[in-house]
Structure 1
Amino acid sequence: MTGRFRHGLVVGKFYPPHAGHHALVEAAAARCAAVTVVVAPSRRESIPLDLRLDWLREVHAGTPWVRFVGRHDDHPVDYADPAVWDLHCAVFADALGGEPVDAVFSSEAYGEELARRFGAVAVDVDPERRAAPVSGTAVRADPAAHWRWLSPPVRAWLVRRVVVVGAESTGTTTMARALARRFGAAWVPEYGRELTGRKLAVLRRSRPEATVFDVTWDRDDFVEVVREQQAAEDATARVGGPLLICDTDARATAVWEERYLGSSSAEVRAAARRPALYLLTDHEGVPFADDGLRDGEHLRAWMTGRFRAELAGCGVPVVELRGAHEERLATAVAAVETVLAAGWSFADPVLPADPTAYSKLAS
């Protein structure tokens, strides 16, 4: 069929959205004047409905005649029970807002029955998954193995973030780079260091003799550091692989704010996230290297203690790195491998009462 339909319907859980889902939506968009995509997960699932809608709207922003509507559907799944079909179709009809549809696009065997119940034409789209050999079940089982089928916002949400923190000249950047090389991962450098360099350069325009000890800080500076650090982190997470190495974060910035201003602000603290792992570089045994942007050799022990205390109650695993660089790297690699081996955890969706129901519908 090559005709154009007035209003197409796509229904799914999109748990999470992947390339197969996007191809389905694109197929409907190419053949319909308008498309309604009903995102209908159960409440037991572990990706919020609103987040799925945001992801889908971003990816399909170029087809404004496609609208995405969310409804929770907590009904059981039984393709052999007409009463259960009625319950699900009532959810989908409510999402449609009374608008009739003349085509139902699906890659699943239930598409034909769904179309019949809406008095529409059933349009199969790549039911054998040849164009995009992926499924939501496969992604949930092993996101890393199916990473190429995920869109940037989904990648950013799923990525495992490992944050390296520590006092000045304790090897945080060296460790972040080394881990990135070891795992073939992207890493995000420290924005605060960049800002320090810029502040010093501004001072030296009028005072060539100025040093880093002349640089001053205020609350807005630390808010800027958090904002720019997270923006860089999120941008990198969208285009990188399933592991992201971060050289500092908002919790570390709060410690630096305390170091310079005597306390940390509520705004900086509120920006704290929950990465998969913290790596804390100890200062013991690491010579202080004065590169012109460092001013806290005398505070390294205090800062290590503050980082240790700050991270202790954050609910994220913390591994301290001690000894020579090789020993630290081995400890860090083992910790990151543990994180990756743990995989991802998703709540199970509501499954069909009869696991062979799909094949029965197709027969």
Structure 2
Amino acid sequence: MKRHGHGLVLGKFYPPHAGHHHLVRTALDRCERLTVLVCAASVESVPLADRVAWMREAHPGARVVGTVDDIPMDLNDSAVWDAHMAVFAAAVPEPIDAVFSSETYGAELARRFGARSVLVDPGRTLFPVSGTAVRADPAGCWDYLEPPVKAALTRRVVVLGAESTGTTTLALALAEHYRRRGGTWARTGYVAEYGREYSEAKLAALRGRWPGARWEDVSFTTDDFPRIAETQNAREEAAARVGSPVLICDTDSFATTVWHERYVGGRNPLVEKTADRVTHHLWLLTGHEGVAFEDDGLRDGEELRPWMTERFRAELTRTGRTFVEITGSRQERLDAAVAAVDGLLATGWHFTDPLPERR
């Protein structure tokens, strides 16, 4: 039997973690209906809309609403409390029967709502994590995060290059390198090139009508490339939700813009728009020099490799993407790629500090 009518859980969720979710699930179990109020300050670097979306996904049984609260907290100042309560009441005007919290201020918050205070795991013994800890070390707190938060924080690394320049070999080796680190890193994901799968399907379909068809008989239209880009993005997103703090991608939707030039000519704004919808953090451009061309049945552009390498380099530069050119032997390429990715991870995640709080 539910013990309370309308319950409230209030917090920054900057970002949400397992302790927050335990609090909400406990409240859902004890209330006829539950409102989760997400309060974000303008100075914070995770948008309010993202936090609301993450909490709604994790807790479909709750009503999740958001508000901007730019008032610094002082637990000993009644006027400051009044100002906060005005913000809270505007966001949740309905009567509250119970306030669920893990914080010391939970009792006062409940009193001001005219509600019962319910403390849930105030010692953080079930989930020893906090928003401060996550912001300081997301990788160290990775297992306390839900899939959409992981996807948002995952550092996405793209290996791209001209035909037969070792992109897949390097991407697979790079993913395996991080998996061998163990722990959270053992789940490092690898996202294959969907364009290749798409090409194989086109060739198979053509051979179904014409058994003697070869790769040079396959034709592409501009409409093929938005589909390739969208699917590549979707597969990356799915992998980022279940992987480690780094995701290795064998090409990406940005690379699809250059492949469009290669097979159709010119640009396709839909592909470029799709590429800009996803945040990647580092591109590794594999050079063609010193790499033998291997015709695997889906390649016919050995003479185009220098042009494609230059197009990738020029577009990466023009669009301001961070990239490293990878050359040398197979081991030298892997060593350079690992150094570049380790450098990316060493820069951290750079959350801005929340508003100061006086206790």
Question: Structure 1 length normalisation: TM-score?
Answer: 0.94
Match for 1:190: what amino acid?
A: E
Q: Is the 8 A contact 1:11 1:38 kept in 2?
A: yes
Query: Whole-Å Cα distance in 1 between the matches of residues 103 and 260 of structure 2?
Result: 54
Question: Is 2:9–2:36's contact at 8 Å kept on the other side of the alignment?
Answer: yes
Partner of 1:345: 350
| Separation in 1, partners of 2:16, 2:222 | 39
Map 1:152-231 to 2 at 5 A.
152-184=147-179, 185-231=188-234
Residue of structure 1 in register with 2:182 after alignment? none
Q: Distance in 2 between matches of 1:204 and 1:323?
A: 38
For the 8 Å contact 1:274–1:316, the answer to whether it is kept is no
The structure 1 residue matched to 2:113, chosen from 91, 109, 118, is 118
1:36-185 pair list within 5 angstroms: 36-61=35-60, 63=61, 66-97=62-93, 99-184=94-179, 185=188
Q: Is the contact made by 1:155 and 1:242 (CA closer than 8 Å) also made in structure 2? A: yes
Give the deviation of 1:56 after TM superposition: 0.6
Write the deviation string for residues 209-245 of structure 1: whole angstroms up to 9, x where unpaired. Answer: 2111011101221011101101110000001111000
Cα deviation for residue 3 of structure 1 reads 6.2
- 8 Å Cα contact 1:251-1:310 kept in structure 2: no
Looking at structure 1, the residues matched to 100 and 295 of structure 2 have their Cα atoms a distance apart, in angstroms, of: 63
Quote the RMSD (CA, aligned, Å): 1.0
Q: Secondary structure at the match of 1:291?
A: coil
2:280 paired with 1:284:
no
Q: How has the CA–CA distance of structure 1 residues 271 and 3 changed in structure 2, closer, same or farther, with 3 Å as cutoff?
A: closer
Question: Does the 8 Å contact 2:226/2:271 carry over to 1?
Answer: yes
Letter in 2 for 1:285: G
Structure 2, unaligned runs of 5 or more: 180-187
Distance across 2 between alignment mates of 1:102 and 1:201: 63
Runs of 4+ in 1 over 2 A off after TM superposition: 313-316
Q: 1:10 and 1:250 mapped to 2: Cα distance?
A: 39
CA distance in 1, matches of 2:2, 2:248: 49
Give the equivalent residue in structure 2 for 1:361.
Answer: none
Q: Which amino acid aligns with 2:147?
A: P
Residue 102 of structure 1: how far off its partner (Å): 1.4
Amino acid at match of 2:90: D
Equivalent residue runs for 1:307-318 within 5 Å: 307-318=312-323
What is the letter of the counterpart of residue 336 of structure 1? V
**d(CA) in 2 for partners of 1:145 and 1:52?**
20
Determine the C-alpha separation between the residues in 2 that align with 1:216 and 1:57.
44
Unaligned runs of 5+ in 1: 358-363
> What is the DSSP-based 3-state SS (H/G/I as helix, E as strand, rest coil) of the residue aligned with 1:284?
coil
The answer to whether the 8 Å contact 1:188/1:232 transfers is yes
Q: By how many angstroms is 1:316 displaced?
A: 2.7
Code of the aligned partner of 1:72: V
Question: What CA distance in whole angstroms lies between the structure 2 residues aligned with 1:326 and 1:320?
Answer: 15
Residues 10 and 36 in structure 2, CA contact (< 8 A), matched pair in contact too: yes
Q: Deviations over 1:117-157 (max 9, x none)?
A: 11111100000111111110000001000111100000000
Amino acid at match of 1:191: Y
CA distance in 1, matches of 2:256, 2:355: 42
Does structure 1 retain, via aligned residues, the 8 Å contact 2:2–2:32? no
Partner of 1:71: helix, strand, or coil? strand
Give the C-alpha shift of residue 270 in structure 1: 1.0
- Cα shift at 1:314: 2.5
The residue number in structure 2 matching 1:334 is 339
Post-superposition CA distance 1:94-134 (Å, at most 9, x none): 1112x111111000000011011111111000001111111
SS in 2 for 1:338: helix
Counting aligned pairs with the same residue, the percent is 58
Deviates more, 1:148-157 or 1:202-211: 202-211
CA–CA separation in structure 1 for the residues paired with 2:88 and 2:353: 21
- Give the count of matched residue pairs: 349
Q: Distance in 2 between matches of 1:344 and 1:182?
A: 22
